[in-house]
Chains A and B, each alone.
Chain A
Amino acid sequence: MSERDSPAGGIMALALSLPRGIDRISRVFGIVATWLVLFSSMISAINALFRYSTGAMLWLERSYGWQVFGWLLGVYGRNSNALSEAVWYMFAGMVMLGGAWAFKINEHVRVDLVYGAISEKARTWIDLLGGLFFLLPLCVLMVYFTWPWFWQSFMNGEGSLNAGGLVRWPARLMIPLGFALLGLQGIAEIIKCIAALTTDYVREFAYEKPLQ
């Protein structure tokens, strides 16, 4: 990006504004996915808490006649299926919306038997060819296979099999949306690889084994 004086550098600088925009999109969805971690764990905990304490609440209700517990249990009972379905909807969101961001920061685990031993340039080539021949076709095929399936569910207003459950299409949307975002990020990474091979652009995230 530094050599704006040469025409090729100018084109590259222009081309690099695209991945920057894509990075921002992935970041926004990544932040949503991050919040889903907190929400899903809290909702699941509330779900479990109600279940643990149902007996105690019923007892309090009977012994003291406080209307509040019966009311709470009633509200919970009517919505419990929706709550427990919301938890795994959020899980689906966490994975599919966060996948692109995890890819952007090079967090997807690799077998680094070869990758760990070769030069940065060779790694860039692997990422470039992998992106072109693995990731992009993969994402296109996945969206192609899963979009009609989502669309059908959306048009039919398919509901849950559980009483009081949620409509299904938001959960189904996550798969095509997630692969579309991943493909978009794949395009960004391919451009970055080309830039790194042709100019002095440096890719910012070196690969590290993820912590467990």
Chain B
Amino acid sequence: MMEFIAANMAPLMFGGLVLFMVIGYPAAFSLAAVGLFFGLGAVQLGLIPPQFFGNLTYQLFGVLSNELLLAIPFFTFMGVILEKSGLAEDLLEGFGQLFGGVRGGLSYAVILVGAVLGAITGTVAASVIAMGLISLPIMMRYGYDVRHATGVIAASGTITQLIPPSLVLIVLAAQLNVSPGDMYIGATGASIVQVLLFAGWVLLLSIIRPQDVPALPPEARTLRGWPLAARVMRGIIPSLALIFIVLGTIFLGLATPTEAGAMGVVGSMLLAWINGRLSRRLIWEGMEATMRLTAMVVFILLGSRVFSLVFQGVGGGHWIEGMLANLPGGVVGFLIVVNVFVFVLAFFLDFFEIAFIVIPLVAPVAQALDINLIWFGVMICANMQTSFMHPPFGFALFYLRGIAPRETVKTRDIYLGAIPWLVLQLILVALLIAFPQMVTAFLSDGPKVDLDSIQIVLPQQGTGGTPPPVFDMSAPPSFK
């Protein structure tokens, strides 16, 4: 009996994790508890030395002192403030009027605004809620198909997952131990392809089912000429400013993603203040929501570190590698299995759980198979984007359900409307597997921006403890 346990510690531990997680006790505590108990058992059986737990403290401290993870509170805080700042409203009204005249125009406007908001912030809620509140009623009034309208809004809200500065990409970069700047550069191509795929689908619909996406009648387009231009500019100018503050400074190598997030907080507060919406209540609510989400997320990471440490200690890494590295089809076989696995898991786990539990298990195998980890990360990111769009936990669908009127929009319509967009996202994953150049081309022979950001971002690559580079300013020239 004891020999059996000792020989199969890793599979037993994995089974124990699955069992205890499924019961429904908070994931963070289940992970840590399973890790600790199996760890103590392994010490008893002599599989790992007792001093092994000394590493534990350093692992936990490594998480808390990881500069990169500070992006979680900063981008969340920024997203909450931005959601209430009125920017999405300005953008949607401007673009809606601008594109409204063509078939599917409102859908193009929603996709474009989703992409712009995605390039500013890293969280999904802000864009879906704003677009659902503003665009959905207009689309319904002018005869857009309900399923198409809800689908395009939910899908466009999730674009923000893949477009830098996405929180998902930062967390994946931290888990895969690659530079977040490279991750952002790598994801740029994929996110452009995604926007084109979405727009292409709308174009196709406007040809095969024009009744689903009618053009706005002339009387609905109240703005023309200069007033229209002014309206569009009102949305575009602050957006470009915010994109520069956050994304521009990362790509130019001026700031780390973390600092860019902090700048984004200040920028979105300024914007909300200009629009007269900044109140002490808004700030407090944002702070509190941010604190709760950060504590929850980082506790999962702490728990998964405890689990991983022991799991690797009892040889779990070899066990997983033995299963995954010898799949038929080599690299492509591995990628397909991992993507199917992640896609299925996304029905049960949320994004952070997948990133913290599954990625550390498969990343070493990917590395052993000589897979470009940036490419791998972007692929997983595009894959996990689907989990926002399908039952039972599709957050984008939840948000939409929360704000769409129940009499005219049935829950069934929201779920069915999401299906074509889910298929589009899976097509993107397949394209990424088939054409790694979509990611790697930007990495290898990009413009000189590439070099800049690599130079500055590299010091982030370590386990975290090191602060960002600081210019030596102890002695300015005129100070003597």
> Which residues in A have some Cβ–Cβ distance to B below 8 Å?
30, 33-38, 40-42, 44-45, 47-49, 51-52, 54, 58, 61-62, 65, 69-71, 73-74, 76-78, 80-81, 84-85, 87-88, 91-92, 94-96, 98-99, 101-103, 105, 107-116, 123, 126-127, 130, 133-135, 137-138, 141-142, 145-146, 149, 162, 171-172, 174-175, 209-212
Contact = CB atoms under 8 A, between A and B. Distances in A.
Given A41-B74, A65-B478, A98-B292, A111 B348 contact: yes
Contact of B56 (A62, A114, A145): A145
Contact of A54 (B22, B73, B473): B473
7 contacts: A34-B287, A34-B288, A91-B64, A92-B64, A95-B295, A108-B27, A209-B350
Contact of A130 (B23, B53, B348): B23
Nearest to A161: B465
Contacts of B283: 38
Contacts of A40: 70, 73-74, 262
A66 to B, nearest CB: 10
Given A34-B287, A73-B476, A162-B467, A109 B125 contact: no
A74 B480 CA distance: 11
Nearest to B349: A111
Say what secondary structure dominates the interface of chain B.
helix
The 3 closest A-B pairs by CB, nearest first: A115-B24, A77-B473, A130-B25
Interface of B: 20-30, 32-33, 36-37, 53, 56-57, 60-61, 64-67, 69-70, 73-74, 77, 123-125, 249, 254-255, 258-263, 265-266, 283-284, 286-296, 298-300, 302, 348-353, 393, 395, 398, 467-468, 470-479
Contacts of A76: 473
Contacts of B123: 212
B385 to A, nearest CB: 12
Nearest to B472: A77
Nearest to A95: B298
B255 A52 contact: yes
Given A48-B259, A91-B73, A96-B64, A74 B32 contact: no
Say what secondary structure dominates the interface of chain A.
helix
Contacts of B477: 58, 61-62
Contact of A92 (B65, B259, B261): B65
A161 to B, nearest CB: 8
Nearest to A43: B262
Contact of B299 (A47, A81, A95, A130): A95
A193 to B, nearest CB: 12
B471 A51 contact: yes
A74 B479 CA distance: 8
Contact of B60 (A41, A108, A175): A175
B467 A138 contact: no
Given A41-B73, A77-B473, A109 B266 contact: no
B70 A109 contact: no
A96 B298 CA distance: 9
Given A45-B266, A94-B294, A51 B254 contact: yes
Contacts of B468: 84
A142 B283 CA distance: 34
Given A44-B74, A52-B249, A108-B29, 11 more contacts: A41-B262, A73-B476, A91-B73, A95-B302, A107-B296, A108-B296, A111-B348, A126-B23, A141-B36, A146-B57, A172-B61
A77 B474 contact: yes
Contacts of A80: 470, 473
Given A51-B471, A74-B473, A149 B26 contact: no
Nearest to B471: A54
B33 to A, nearest CB: 4
B64 A103 contact: no
A88 to B, nearest CB: 5
Given A34-B287, A113-B24, A127-B25, A44 B258 contact: yes
B292 A70 contact: no
